[in-house]
């Protein structure tokens, strides 16, 4: 760099400018750091005193940042904006040394463009004059490092205080820094809450970010168990606040007999979800949320399909689908439909004795309120005996029914078919053809009527014969009532006087492809006789009829009475 007449002066002014900048920047920086440290200390006192939740700590952090910005604006921004030139420093020296404007003028005249300003002889004279006395000029006259030392001492004292407190209470310092950065740390306490159990479920004493949750079925009592360490108090309490309302409550918790560091209590009559915090000595847990959840509400519907032969005779409402106990015909199929009306289910199962069937979730309703049904190939596909069952479910909260659904399917008796028959006479000739009038009926249809003839001869011999009286065609089914007459030809049996003929009508019901059940009517007995026996019977019947007629007349006319 080329030497000028004012080089020494410019060098000294440059040194002064740097020192003045150092004072400004140093003072501002010390003030900013000290203010931030004191704001940090104030934040610690507030957080430690009130155990601020994360929302309030967020506000605290924002306030600290805003305080730092204010300090920068107040102390650093003016320094950043200040731009001192050599002429500005020269002007400061002139004022401090009571010099006229010669310094500033000489610096300006020494610039190359000064040759255009006027008389060069005058400019050179000013420069020479200043160059002559400037070596003896004390440019640092009036300069002071204040307020830098004062602010540096304040900053140093603040740093020593903060560092000393942090070293004396490292646990508090570490916890505060974590909490200040929105962590989940807690300040050290004399009493330590070591574990918390709600209805047997352990929850964290201090949550990481979100509050711990435990789900309790509606209506169940809520038990709490807390283990403490350190300075164990005689008792503690739980503070409750509603999640969906403004209700608050306090539950005192005492020690378990024989366990001085274990505390237990019970919360009853709670119908809505709540938030709970535990207080023991100077220890305070993070809030935990107890969600009161309803048990699953389950409805079942049975769809009964009777055997094919009985479908046409079903009465409206004969099978109540929502009933848990009912009767079905043997061979019926029962389909189950289970629906939860208030929440989705994870599983459902049906138990019969030692056998359990997992119900199948219907794909069509898989989204929310799903429908569950029996798997294939269960005893319900074709019921041949009475079935007792229990149904239990597990919902999305892992809850089950307080009491399993219990029911029974009984077998309804398919009554055997019925038949009655009557004959006009009881005395027959060996070659007669007696006729029997009959009426047969069944709940689901009559298939066939057979006359069973049992012969008992006078010499002791017996025999059995059958005569088909009626066969109902499949196309005419179901035919529930059949009336008719059957003729029994006796000539082929070579009967003699004194023999006995007993005729029983046998009816078989219709059950489709399944073998039917048989019913028997009352026997009709015939005595084999000759013509004289027929006439005698006829005369006796005439006498009996006349006597009955005479009795009727006497009753009607009031004749007769006891003879004296």
**Tell me: the pLDDT tens digits for 222-231?**
999 999 999 9
Indicate if the pLDDT at residue 553 is higher than 80. Answer: no
Distances (CA, A) of 400 to 205, 394, 480: 28, 5, 49
Q: Quick one: how far is CA 105 from the chain centroid?
A: 89
Mean pLDDT over 491-503 rounds to 87
What letter would DSSP give residue 475? G
363 pLDDT band (50/70/90 cuts)? low
- Residue 269 near residue 251 (C-beta atoms within 8 A): no
195/286 Cα distance (integer angstroms): 12
354/499 Cα distance (integer angstroms): 62
503/492 Cα distance (integer angstroms): 15
54/211 Cα distance (integer angstroms): 11
Task: Tell the residue number behind the tokens 């709540």, with chain if given.
Answer: 274
Which tokens is 464 given? 């059995």
More confident site: 218 or 551:
218
- Residue 256 near residue 264 (C-beta atoms within 8 A): yes
Domain ranges of the chain: 7-167, 191-293, 298-412, 418-537
Indicate if the pLDDT at residue 353 is higher than 60. Answer: yes
The pLDDT assigned to 312 comes to 65
**What are residue 304's DSSP bridge partners?**
334
Distances (CA, A) of 5 to 94, 105, 123, 137, 176: 19, 14, 13, 15, 62
Tell me which of 3.30.9.10, 1.20.120.450, 1.20.1250.20, 2.60.40.10 is the CATH number of domain 191-293: 2.60.40.10
Which tokens is 237 given? 């309490």
The pLDDT assigned to 262 comes to 95
What letter would DSSP give residue 76? I
163 pLDDT band (50/70/90 cuts)? very high
Indicate if the pLDDT at residue 548 is higher than 70. Answer: no
41 pLDDT band (50/70/90 cuts)? very high
Mean pLDDT over 463-488 rounds to 87
Alpha helices in 134-207 (DSSP H): 148-168, 170-180
563 pLDDT band (50/70/90 cuts)? very low
Q: What is the dihedral of CA 20, 21, 24, 28, to 10 degrees?
A: -160
CATH class of 418-537: mainly beta
Predicted confidence (pLDDT) per residue in 26-38, tens digit: 989 999 999 999 9
Pair type for strands 427-428 and 345-352: unpaired
In three-state secondary structure terms, 435 is: strand
Close Cβ partners of 527 (under 8 Å, ≥ 6 residues apart): 426, 427, 428, 499, 500, 501, 533
Over the chain, what is the mean pLDDT? 84
The pLDDT assigned to 536 comes to 62
Sheet order of strands, 405-412 included: 325-329, 405-412, 387-395, 345-352, 355-358
Q: Which of 432, 456, 434 is nearest to 530 (CA)?
A: 432
Indicate if the pLDDT at residue 539 is higher than 60. Answer: no
Predicted confidence (pLDDT) per residue in 380-403, tens digit: 998 889 999 999 999 888 888 889
Indicate if the pLDDT at residue 564 is higher than 50. Answer: no
Tally of CB atoms within 10 A around 390:
16
**Topology adopted by domain 298-412:** Immunoglobulin-like (2.60.40)
The pLDDT assigned to 315 comes to 63
Indicate if the pLDDT at residue 250 is higher than 80. Answer: yes
In three-state secondary structure terms, 209 is: coil
144/284 Cα distance (integer angstroms): 54
What distance, in Å, lies between the first and last C-alpha atoms of the chain?
181
Close Cβ partners of 277 (under 8 Å, ≥ 6 residues apart): 238, 239, 284, 285, 286, 287, 288
Distances (CA, A) of 338 to 191, 355, 402, 408: 52, 19, 17, 16
Tally of CB atoms within 10 A around 296:
23
Close Cβ partners of 314 (under 8 Å, ≥ 6 residues apart): 306
* One fold for 191-293 and 298-412: yes
Element (H, E) at 197: strand 191-198
């Amino acid at each position: 760099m080329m030497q000028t007449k004012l080089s020494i002066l410019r060098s000294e002014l440059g040194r002064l400018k740097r020192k003045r900048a150092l004072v400004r920047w140093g003072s501002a920086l010390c003030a900013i750091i000290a203010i931030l440290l004191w704001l940090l200390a104030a934040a610690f006192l507030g957080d430690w005193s009130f155990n601020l939740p994360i929302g309030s700590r967020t506000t605290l952090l924002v306030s600290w940042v805003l305080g730092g910005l204010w300090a920068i604006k107040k102390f650093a921004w003016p320094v950043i904006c200040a731009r001192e030139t050599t002429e500005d420093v020269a002007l400061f020296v002139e004022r401090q040394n009571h010099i006229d404007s010669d310094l500033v003028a000489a610096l300006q005249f020494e610039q190359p463009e000064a040759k255009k300003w006027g008389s060069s002889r005058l400019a050179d004279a000013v420069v020479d004059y200043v160059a002559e006395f400037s070596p003896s000029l004390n440019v640092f006259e009036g300069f002071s490092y204040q307020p830098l030392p004062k602010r540096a001492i304040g900053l140093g004292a603040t740093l020593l205080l903060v560092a000393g407190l942090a070293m004396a209470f490292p646990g508090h310092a570490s916890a505060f820094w974590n909490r200040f950065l929105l962590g989940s740390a807690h300040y050290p306490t004399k009493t330590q809450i070591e574990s918390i159990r709600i209805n047997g479920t352990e929850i964290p004493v201090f949550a990481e970010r979100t509050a711990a949750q435990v789900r309790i079925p509606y209506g169940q009592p809520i038990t709490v168990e807390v283990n403490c360490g350190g300075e164990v108090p005689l008792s503690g309490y739980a503070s409750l606040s509603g999640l969906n309302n403004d209700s608050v409550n306090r539950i005192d918790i005492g020690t378990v007999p024989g366990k001085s560091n274990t505390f237990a209590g019970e919360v009853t009559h709670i119908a809505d979800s709540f938030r709970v915090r535990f207080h023991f000595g100077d220890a305070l847990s993070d809030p935990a949320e107890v969600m009161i959840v309803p048990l699953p509400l389950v409805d079942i519907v049975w769809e009964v399909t009777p055997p094919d032969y009985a479908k046409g005779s079903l009465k409206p409402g004969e099978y109540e689908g929502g009933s848990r106990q009912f009767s079905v015909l043997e061979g019926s199929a029962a389909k189950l439909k289970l629906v939860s009306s208030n929440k989705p289910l994870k599983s459902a199962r049906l138990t019969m004795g030692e056998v359990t069937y997992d119900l199948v979730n219907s794909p069509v309703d898989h989204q929310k309120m799903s429908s569950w049904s029996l798997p294939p190939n269960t005893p319900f596909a074709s019921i041949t005996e009475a079935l007792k069952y229990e149904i239990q479910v597990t919902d999305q909260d892992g809850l089950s029914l307080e009491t399993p659904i219990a029911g029974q399917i009984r077998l309804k008796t398919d009554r055997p078919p019925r038949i009655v028959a009557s004959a006009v006479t009881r005395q027959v000739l060996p070659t007669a053809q007696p006729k029997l009038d009959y009426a047969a009926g069944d709940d689901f249809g009559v298939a066939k009527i057979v006359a069973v003839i049992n012969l008992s001869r006078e010499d002791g011999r017996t025999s059995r014969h059958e005569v088909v009286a009626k066969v109902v065609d499949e196309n005419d089914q179901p035919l529930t009532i059949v009336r008719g007459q059957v003729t029994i030809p006796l000539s082929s049996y070579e009967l003699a006087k004194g023999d006995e003929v007993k005729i029983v009508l046998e009816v078989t019901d219709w059950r489709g492809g399944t073998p039917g059940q048989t019913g028997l009517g009352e026997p009709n007995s015939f005595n084999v006789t000759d013509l004289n026996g027929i006439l005698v019977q006829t005369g006796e019947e005439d006498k009996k009829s006349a006597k009955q007629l005479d009795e009727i007349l006497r009753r009607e006319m009031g004749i007769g009475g006891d003879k004296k």
